[in-house]
Amino acid sequence: MSRQQLMDTIPVKEGEELNNVLLERYLREQLSDLPDAPLEVQQFWAGHSNLTYQLKAGSWEAVLRRPPFGKLAPKAHDMKREFRILSEIHPLFSQAPKPLLFSNDESIVGSPFFIMERKHGIVIDTDFPEQITVTKELRQKLSHTMVDTMVKLHDIDHSSTGLNEISSPDGFMERQVHGWIGRYERAQTDDIKEAEDLKLWLSSHIPESQPAAIIHYDFKLNNAMFSEDMQSVIGLFDWEMATVGDPLADLGAAMSYWMQDDDPTILKNGLGKPSVTVQEGFLTRDQFIEEYARKSGRDVSAMNFYLTFAYFKLAVICQQIFYRYKKGQTNDARFSNFDQFVRSLIVHAAAIAQKDR
């Protein structure tokens, strides 16, 4: 494992620097208990969307989130909305980081941003940390814990929060399907023949939505932080797409990231090295879905649609990133082959859709 994989932060990447002087001034104006020590800023190296930075001043620590640089898709990377979501959910779901400050003042770091608590634990992505003794039983335990965490989130009474004020659960899937089709068309760079049939299939096969729940909508292993003993999830990050909507859309999105060893190679490697979920002991997608159904009591008979849509949605997200790369709005070399990954995701989604025909 590389040194970078052992560390969760790195020096700030060139071109993604913050104005540390203005940021420290802002923090000292807002926080009376900030230690009298210089502000140190590092960047969390993982992730493909919003930029996330570690802030330290003496014993004080926090995390800053801001949108990526360059032109952004409409309504994407809404820092105020994500701050509001965390403010509503954190008191009921401790895995959501506690939000601390939000600012719309773009003169400080170049965009709206918010600051939240810094959690410490173990995040697993493509490798396990070297200090962890990895067994088949541990992989099974992690799988079940992820299911339990999703069920717990979906069981929250959303009517006890203010999230309905910024969500529209009625007609959720209808809006989702047509909204993501529109995003794809606006960011399209290549003609993919399977895309047209897939868009038509999605539009004509929308199932009746499940009773609404709070959904994370980017629920995946590397957005979770486990306790040091690996027995529980203590953090769940990246709430940018969270809303009140169909819980099976959340499950479908999670399964589009949950890789299996028998998946096509390009799907496993499209975002880099495959997730550890390809290893023996992790639940398969079918097993994960079955356990979710058993523990939540929800009907998952229409999961084929939700999984098809999830792969299309993931393709659109990657297409938007590749569009920014192709337009020169980001020079991150990780994105240079995303067009091939997008094509593979769409072909894969189209193949899943065929199972319903």
Burial class (CB in 10 A: 0-12, 13-18, 19+), 187: buried
What confidence category does residue 5 fall into, taking pLDDT thresholds of 50, 70 and 90? very low
Summarize pLDDT for 271-311 with one digit per residue, the tens.
Answer: 788 999 999 999 999 999 999 999 999 999 999 999 999 99
Residue 331: per-residue pLDDT: 80
How many angstroms separate the CA atoms of 39 and 55, rounded?
7
Q: Phi-psi category of 58—alpha, beta or left, where left has phi over 0 and alpha has psi -120 to 50?
A: left
Beta strands in the chain (DSSP E): 9-10, 40-44, 51-57, 60-66, 99-103, 113-116, 213-215, 224-226, 233-236, 243-245
Say yes or no to pLDDT of 114 above 80.
yes
The full set of domain ranges for the chain reads 3-116, 136-354
CATH number of 136-354: 3.90.1200.10
pTM of structure: 0.91
Higher-confidence residue of 333 and 201: namely 201
Q: Which of 211, 209, 212, 230 is nearest to 221 (CA)?
A: 230
pLDDT given for residue 334 in this prediction: 82
Give the model's pLDDT for residue 333: 81
- For residue 3, what pLDDT is reported? 35
For residue range 225-258, list pLDDT tens digits in order. 999 999 999 999 999 999 999 999 999 999 999 9
Q: How far apart are CA 221 and CA 262, in angstroms?
A: 19
User: For residue 357, what pLDDT is reported?
Assistant: 47
On average, the pLDDT of the chain sits at 92
Q: For residue 169, what pLDDT is reported?
A: 93
Q: What fold is seen in the domain 3-116?
A: Phosphorylase Kinase; domain 1 (3.30.200)
Q: Using DSSP, state whether 3 is helix, strand or coil.
A: helix
Q: How far is CA 81 from CA 99, 102, 200, 289, in A?
A: 12, 10, 31, 29
Asked whether the beta carbons of 315 and 345 are under 8 A apart, the reply is: yes
Name which of 279, 158, 142, 287 is nearest 224 in CA terms: 142
Compute the distance between CA of residue 154 and CA of residue 144 in angstroms, rounded to an integer: 15
Q: What is the pLDDT of residue 83?
A: 97
Reduced to 3 DSSP states, what percent helix, strand and coil does the chain have, rounded to the nearest 5? Answer: 45, 10, 40
